[in-house]
Amino acid sequence: MTKQTTKTTDGTEERQERLSEFPLVRINFILMAVAAVMIVVGFALTSGGGSADATQFNPEIFSVRRIVIGPNIAFLGFLFMAFAIIWPGKKKKKENQ
């Protein structure tokens, strides 16, 4: 918060506190939450059970979901996170300018 002192018409000083402008606005946080969900879903798609017996080969570890879809969704989530951080959003108009 920044404090601003202004003089009123009767000569007394009036202190006003106003919120400084934050670099990230509400839409940035919403987009970052969506990106975080994409990352978690991507990692969840890459995970999966192995074989119950360590001596047995399970070809399921090479499924398209685990080696293509999951990593791509996680990577797009990381890219979308960068996009969400740099998204400018809409600035409010200042009244006294």
User: Greatest CA span in the chain, whole angstroms?
Assistant: 89
pTM: predicted TM-score of the whole model, two decimal places: 0.69
Rounded to whole angstroms, the Cα distance separating 29 from 32 reads 5
φ/ψ (deg, to 5) at 54 = -70, -15
User: Tell me: the pLDDT tens digits for 77-87?
Assistant: 999 999 999 99
User: Tell me: the pLDDT tens digits for 30-68?
Assistant: 999 999 999 999 999 999 777 777 788 888 888 999 999
Q: What are the helix and strand counts (H, E) for the chain?
A: 3, 2
